[in-house]
Amino acid sequence: MTQTQKPGDARHEDRELLEATLRKGGASAAEIAETLKVDKALDSSSHGKKPGAIHAAMLSRNLPFNLFCRRDAEMPSHVKEIAKRCIDKARAHLAGGTLLADSGKFNPLLEEELTRSLFYALTIPEEHSGVGAGMTDIARIMIDIGRLVSPIIPGTLSIKTLIGPVGALKNFGTPAQKEKFLHYMAKVAFQGAFAGTEPGRGCAIADPTTYGVVGDDGMLRIYGEKLFISRGVYGAKIGLFLKIGGERKVVIVELPELATDTFHIEEYDMLVLKPALDNNKLVFNGLAVPVENILPGDGLEAIFHDLDDGRWAVGSSATVLMMAVLASLPEWVSIRETFKKPLKERQMIQYMMSLMAAYILGSETLTLWAAHQVDQGRSAAVEAMICKTFSTERLREVMTELGPDVQGGRTFESNNVIGKNTMNAGVSRVYEGPNKMLGMASMGLLSKAIEQSGVKDLFVGLKESGIDMLDLKRLSTRGKVALLWKKKRQLWKNRRKITPALWFAYGAWCSNRSGKVVMLNDKGLTNKFDWSTIPDKRFHRHLIFAAGQWFKWRWNLLQLIYKYGPALIDEQMIIEYEIYRPLSNIVAMLTCIDTAIRSHAIGDQAKVECANMLMEVLANELLGRRPSNFDLRKAVKALFPHIMEGRLDWLRDIPVAPIFQPWWNENVEGGQETAKKEGGFREYLL
């Protein structure tokens, strides 16, 4: 047994296998120790939850489509009222120009009003004076308030209550700790943050150097530094990740109002999220905190738990920014003429704007679906990772490529939504786990599903039969047969260990050829899929395609595990480009087919066309096809008029500000009339 394993740890055998695997793959002792800690915390953070939708689908012979669908309930009326109240208050500040205070920061008065309107109490359970709203409803509210006013506002909610101190207290606090803090946090305006990152501990966060020492006076004294802490300001209440007596813990710290001998803040100039977030370094030099503020349990587990449950919020911000960009374009492409034709008549412009609309649909769908997983008591780890990476990757494309290619030079005016937010969009790839790191982290979680299918037992069974899987792989077919024949008695003895995985592999191989779309019922059994539930026949083709890709992906994953064995963990490019990205696209397709079905049911043809466009784009990406095929061009033609004629409800009521550089020249012939007629093109203010 290794040092990280304790008796009673149900997965210690799995971890032994992982350790052996890493060792064979040539990993250093430090890397092995770090990986084992992360693996254990990731595993524990999902305890008590049902397996995630992707995990469950991986273990099913056919594809249970309803794992990728949402069952939306009507938002409770009291939650609706809170949402309305908060949006009204925030809009009043936007209209009065007081969204930001004179300091250029998010206005504390608005934060106070939002607190009184119970905005920051949404995630807090009712028994602690909160609202106890579901995550799907919170996600909807975050998208709405972000879209109608500013993404800064949902950003503060996420920092304080999803990844911040509220999340940690809610999920890991003792009744006394909840009593002490949560009532207060539901009712009183406060600045909240989570402090995990350190100068020397970013991605490799598992082993913090910040530490606490418990004194005889019952106080914990904290030493160390935390870097890049959003809203880490004097007086804030933060969740702090540190080590106490060699154990990783989270402690709730009420930071002093001013610098002291034991604590101070170091400011630096970040280029991103300036109005919203004071991003600071926190320096602890013996700050005393009551020991009662230490949360029970493993601190790393608490971090992963909150990230799994709240990472979808990054998807909501990305969705909102893409909406704001697209909303700024219809007017522009209508009035801007080049070579005597308005931009809106050009195919490439139509394609790029339609692409943005498709990305918005994908990003919003994944956000709501990942939040819905949490409401269902499922582990949403991989689902939220996919939501975050899909939405922020598409946002990057919108901000750096599609947007500038439609707006030209005006993109870079300081008041332009793209110009102002390009860096903000870029940084969303980094926080809450850099995108590439999430792809790699997902591999650990996906392989757990494979382990559960009996693959681990297969390795053990073969080993006990005197066969090393890696040696077996290196042999020729004839050599393999000879070895298996030689060991036939031992293999027969270990057949119970070996056969489940072989059945799973055989099932995956069969479904790669003839797998079906099915529905999972409440008893965990599968029923036939009723194709008449999809009235728009184009989506029959899309679902058949996505399901085929799913089976192919699963079979490919098994082959890669077999081919690379322990070394797969170091094949980061294979993990990213052959495993994680295709999976993300398949999941986006499946979840958006559900969106198309529900949009069709309410007669929202604009969103159906967005979904159809996204299907064509993702199919091209999965097949490595160029984005100029007939179906995609047809999808653009069908979607573009909906964008231009205002039928996408997301794009309505997004706030606007006057442009700095009008597009006409009043000194040339016809210029003055044009100016009068158009009244001025407007840009969007965030």
Ligand X SMILES: Cc1cc2nc3c(=O)[nH]c(=O)nc-3n(C[C@H](O)[C@H](O)[C@H](O)COP(=O)(O)OP(=O)(O)OC[C@H]3O[C@@H](n4cnc5c(N)ncnc54)[C@H](O)[C@@H]3O)c2cc1C
Residues at the interface with ligand X (CB under 6 A): 193-197, 202-203, 228-230, 272-273, 279, 427, 430-431, 434, 436-437, 572
Choice between 228 and 539, CB closer to ligand X: 228
Name residue, tokens 């494309």.
Answer: 397
In the complex, minimum distance from the CB of residue 131 to ligand X, in angstroms, rounded to a whole number: 24
In the complex, minimum distance from the CB of residue 303 to ligand X, in angstroms, rounded to a whole number: 9
If one counts every other C-beta atom within 10 angstroms of the C-beta of residue 221, the result is 17
DSSP string, 14-27: HHHHHHHHHHHTT-
Four-residue CA torsion sign, 630, 632, 636, 639: positive
Choice between 272 and 361, CB closer to ligand X: 272
CB within 8 A of 192, min separation 6: which ones?
159, 160, 161, 164, 165, 166, 185, 231, 236, 237, 238
Choice between 176 and 573, CB closer to ligand X: 573
In the complex, minimum distance from the CB of residue 435 to ligand X, in angstroms, rounded to a whole number: 7
The DSSP output letter for 652 is T
Q: Using CA atoms, how far apart are residues 74 and 44, in angstroms rounded to an integer?
A: 33
In the complex, minimum distance from the CB of residue 236 to ligand X, in angstroms, rounded to a whole number: 11
In the complex, minimum distance from the CB of residue 163 to ligand X, in angstroms, rounded to a whole number: 7
Choice between 577 and 660, CB closer to ligand X: 577
Choice between 106 and 194, CB closer to ligand X: 194
In the complex, minimum distance from the CB of residue 538 to ligand X, in angstroms, rounded to a whole number: 38
In the complex, minimum distance from the CB of residue 238 to ligand X, in angstroms, rounded to a whole number: 9
Nearest CA among 489, 443, 450 for reference residue 466: 489
- Tell me if 577 sits within 8 A of 560, measured CB to CB: no
49 three-state secondary structure: coil
Choice between 203 and 560, CB closer to ligand X: 203
- Exposure pattern of 611-634 as b/e (b: 16+ CB <10 Å)? bbbbbbbbbbebeeeeeeeebbee
Supply the angle between the helices 538-564 and 495-514 in degrees, to the nearest 10: 140
Choice between 277 and 449, CB closer to ligand X: 277
Length of the chain: 686
- Tell me if 443 sits within 8 A of 450, measured CB to CB: no
Choice between 53 and 438, CB closer to ligand X: 438
Choice between 267 and 405, CB closer to ligand X: 267
In the complex, minimum distance from the CB of residue 232 to ligand X, in angstroms, rounded to a whole number: 7
Q: CA torsion 43→166→146→397, rounded to 10°?
A: -30
If one counts every other C-beta atom within 10 angstroms of the C-beta of residue 28, the result is 10
Within the chain, how many helices (H) and strands (E) appear?
A: 28, 14
If one counts every other C-beta atom within 10 angstroms of the C-beta of residue 402, the result is 22
Choice between 399 and 534, CB closer to ligand X: 399
In the complex, minimum distance from the CB of residue 228 to ligand X, in angstroms, rounded to a whole number: 4
In the complex, minimum distance from the CB of residue 441 to ligand X, in angstroms, rounded to a whole number: 10
Q: Report the DSSP pairing between strands 237-244 and 192-195.
A: parallel
Choice between 100 and 203, CB closer to ligand X: 203
If one counts every other C-beta atom within 10 angstroms of the C-beta of residue 662, the result is 15
Q: Using CA atoms, how far apart are residues 303 and 298, in angstroms rounded to an integer?
A: 9
Report the alpha-carbon angle 235-156-182, nearest 5: 60
Both tokens assigned to 335: 């009035």
Q: Using CA atoms, how far apart are residues 555 and 376, in angstroms rounded to an integer?
A: 28
In the complex, minimum distance from the CB of residue 79 to ligand X, in angstroms, rounded to a whole number: 27
Q: Cβ-closest residue to ligand X?
A: 202
